[in-house]
Amino acid sequence: MRAIYLIKASVLVCMSGALLGGFAVAQDEAAPPVDVVSERLDALYRSSSSVGRIELSVVTPRRERSLRMQVWSRGLDRSLVVIESPSRERGTATLRVERNLWNYLPRIARTMRVPPSMMLSSWMGSDFTNDDLVQGSSFARDFVGRAGERSDSPRGWRYAFDAREGVVGLWKRIEYVMNEDASYPLVARYYDRRMRLARTLTFDEVREMDGRRIPTRLTIRPTREEGQRTVLRYLELDFDADVPESTFSLSRLERGR
């Protein structure tokens, strides 16, 4: 009888572990605190202010195109992105100030405000969204994170971030795998409002830029678009650069530089 009891107890333990899912805290060592990870994700490509250049390549089964852009940021709530090439797209720009977002289209000399509900819309036909390009959402402010567990593939720490109630224009959940010391991400998986996997983002080509080790290549693959991907590469990135507040104005947006 005692042997039967022990077997049943073991089965119950295994079943409870399965029901808890993939985010129980690892027992062999403590996961880095989720609030620390949230802050690191928010500040990964930012500082008090930054200036950089990036290349965005969109690959589909039918075509491939690339854009080069200059980006400016100040804190966590101000960003400006201006396309430098190709020539037909030069001057197209996106400005974010707090929760407000505008796009400027030089071909028609028009500035359009982007509503919060459109933050997850495609930016310039890529797999990156408006929110991705200007880093509009904040993990610390807009998501509730859960403590991590060990991940074996890739090796690191896994975290889940669920959108807070009432915040518009966010993914329902984002799951991250961070590297061994949780200093930068390796993979992120994005889930829509119906909790369907919508896309996977991988981070690689880690190198030092202005004193920080960061992934310099980000690749998004949408789940339902076979053979499609968008690759973003950081070509230059200067942290704590001199970026005046006047950079983040509608007049600067419309000048495109």
Token pair of 234, please? 């950081």
Kindly report the CA angle at 210 between 204 and 214, in degrees rounded to 5?
A: 20
CATH class assigned to 23-255: mainly beta
Per-residue model confidence (pLDDT) at position 91: 94
pLDDT at 45: 92
* Mean pLDDT split into 10-residue runs, the chain, 257 residues: 44 41 50 93 92 96 94 92 95 92 92 90 91 87 90 93 89 96 96 95 97 97 93 96 93 78
Task: Quickly count: other Cβ atoms within 10 Å of residue 151's Cβ.
Answer: 19
The pTM (predicted TM-score) of the whole model is 0.83
**Residue 257 has what pLDDT?**
54
Q: Residue 122 and residue 98: Cα distance in Å, rounded?
A: 20
Q: Which two tokens stand for residue 12?
A: 């119950």
